[in-house]
Chains A and B, each alone.
Chain A
Amino acid sequence: MLIRTEKAIPSSEITAKDNYQSFRAGRRAFLARAGMLGVGAAAAAMFPSAANALNKLQTVSGKFNVSDTVTPESKAQSYNNYYEFGIDKSEPAHTAGSLRTRPWTVKVEGLVKKPQTIDIDALMHYRPLEQRVYRFRCVEAWSMVIPWDGYSLSELINFVEPLPSAKYIVFNSLADSSQMPNLNGSGFEGAYQEGLRMDEAMHPLTLLTFGSYGETLANQQGAPVRVIVPWKYGYKSPKAIVKIRFVDKQPSTTWNDLNPPAYGFYSNVNPNLDGDHSSRSHDRRLDSSSSIFPKIVATQMFNGYGDQVASLYNGMDLSKYY
């Protein structure tokens, strides 16, 4: 599969210019187009009936699907690294009920022409949601295969029009101890922060994610909106995003701050580089197997997305920029 990444899709191709004024306008444009294409059913998903329950999403099937066995939903939603809700990976499934995902806004700010605060429903319905089956590789040597529902982050970036000086994009997760029982025990200084280089953020694989398994994200998975960057370790895919900032310098990121030698800014999946706690050459694939014995798979360079993303790092020493 060939994906061009050098040149961003011009925003004009995405939304008509006069619809740029606000995000609501963008949504109207999509509604109109959805009607024209005869996929009116998609409109039904526009207005979710309840905020917190897992709602079925109307999705179109995406192009970027791996053929690996998909991890059962029950596993993907009961094994979550989400320290704000508990350190043990089984905890968030029990404690994340206290997260309120509506009302919710995402603030876009920094080096961008159209800074704004976007309502979650408008954001979710700005583009048709694609279902993409991605590999998800945690730095702790386990991996899953999950169908995520969302659209390329590049669509949002183009909509808000970053300034030429914007070189990086920063995401902040919610940090509210009234909703996140373990926020103070998370070990994080303030809100969880992650970042991408602009070309990484613009890469079509980078998914602004609202759902999984055809439903809105479970709270413990990062509801209501997160980013999924499938060729990087899991912690590069921040959850419960409330702020997106465009900046000119490489931002600090949560895990890099905690342990720089182990968790670099790039954190591309790389079986040749060693981790601090285990080798990264293989992982336990957590899929539909009902055996207590692990399914061991060889970890692939860029998590198997090398064809698409290796060119982003041409000429870079990956052991230095890890």
Chain B
Amino acid sequence: MREDLLLSESEGIKKARMPSRAIPYLKALVHLLCLLPALHLLQMYRNGALAAQADPVNFITHFTGKWTLWILLTDLAITPVRRLTPMLAWLIRFRRMVGLYAFFYATLHLLTYIFLFSGYDVQTALAGLHAGHFAEPWRQLVAIWPTMLDDLEKRRFIQVGLVTWIILLTLAVTSPQRVLRAMGGKNWQRLHYLIYAAGFLALVHYWWSLKKGVPLPTKETLIFWILILARVVYWIIQRLRRRSALASQSAAAA
């Protein structure tokens, strides 16, 4: 399994059966697909649809949170889907990119929490800036800081959310090829297994953020466990194959 994963990110790229000419176009397409939700939000902002929402903050919070999770699940789906057939081996080239977009939406989600959800008064901060009080945005942040610390201290869904973001941050920071080389493939791979933890914790964050009585995100949870199960099944199959190969070798030797 490890060998397979390593193949994905570095030397293995040559083996991916994809006409190299198509790659830049596909990359552009994947970028576009991943950016679509953000562009949609921007469009809603520009045409006033966002402000026309009864509670724009609530909308943005859920929008960025859900897209983080969905993109994270898409990212986790790449490996199992690719294993279905060698024809899809080239998919692996987009795994890191999709993972970075998960971090991008998670960051938007975190910023939404800090500047829109926690009680930070953006309107006063902006009015202050306009009036030439350049410390006003900072003052607002200082004012809301205790509330955020309080949230972090008392609310486990906030704690889990922050841990998830820190994991994604770590993976994003270590994602460049240079860092991979510096760390060594094995260490890098070990660290990047944390993507599973991020997926799991993102789900936990979602579950715990819901009021009791609200239906839980069962579809997303189911998809997550199916993706994990696919890896376990693959791992077992590989082991069995290796064992039977060994068995037949030793049988031949005998």
Contacts and interface: CB of A to CB of B under 8 A. Distances in A.
Interface of A: 74-76, 78-79, 83, 87, 89-90, 140, 142, 185-188, 255, 258-259, 262, 274, 276-279, 281-282, 284, 286, 290-296
Interface string B152-187: 001101000000000000000000000000000000
A142 B61 CA distance: 14
B65 to A, nearest CB: 13
Nearest to A279: B147
A282 B119 contact: yes
Give the interface residue-count category, chain B: 20 to 34
Interface centre among A277, A282, A292 (most CB of B within 10 A): A292
Given A281-B119, A293-B126, A274 B154 contact: yes
A40 B48 CA distance: 44
Contacts of A284: 55, 57
A296 B51 contact: no
A296 B119 contact: yes
Nearest to B122: A293
26 contacts: A74-B54, A78-B54, A83-B214, A89-B55, A142-B55, A186-B213, A187-B214, A187-B215, A255-B213, A259-B213, A274-B150, A276-B155, A276-B211, A278-B151, A279-B119, A279-B151, A281-B119, A281-B147, A284-B57, A290-B52, A292-B45, A293-B116, A294-B116, A294-B121, A296-B123, A296-B124
Nearest to B52: A290
Contacts of A142: 55, 58
Contacts of A294: 56-57, 116, 121-123
A180 B209 CA distance: 26
Contacts of A296: 119-121, 123-124
A64 B159 CA distance: 42
Interface centre among B50, B117, B120, B213 (most CB of A within 10 A): B213
Pairs A-B, 5 closest by C-beta atoms: A79-B54, A187-B213, A293-B122, A75-B54, A292-B56
Contacts of B209: 277
Contacts of B154: 274
Nearest to B45: A292
Contacts of A281: 119, 147
B211 A277 contact: yes
B190 interface: no
Contacts of B45: 292
A188 B56 CA distance: 27
A202 B207 CA distance: 40
Interface string B32-58: 000000000000010010111011111
A88 to B, nearest CB: 9
Interface centre among B54, B126, B215 (most CB of A within 10 A): B54
A274 to B, nearest CB: 7
Contacts of B213: 83, 186-188, 255, 258-259
B60 interface: yes
Contacts of B155: 276-278
Nearest to A88: B62
A79 B55 contact: yes
Contacts of A255: 213
A76 B213 CA distance: 23
A83 to B, nearest CB: 7
B227 to A, nearest CB: 26
A292 B60 contact: yes
A187 B122 CA distance: 35
A87 B51 contact: no
B21 interface: no
Contacts of B157: 277
B54 A279 contact: no
B154 to A, nearest CB: 7
Given A279-B151, A294-B116, 16 more contacts: A76-B54, A83-B213, A89-B58, A187-B213, A187-B214, A188-B213, A258-B211, A259-B211, A262-B212, A277-B155, A286-B54, A291-B123, A292-B50, A294-B121, A296-B119, A296-B123
A186 B151 CA distance: 27
B123 A295 contact: yes
Interface centre among B50, B116, B121, B211 (most CB of A within 10 A): B211
Contacts of B58: 89, 140, 142
Nearest to B211: A277
A291 B151 contact: no
A258 B52 CA distance: 32
A90 B151 CA distance: 27
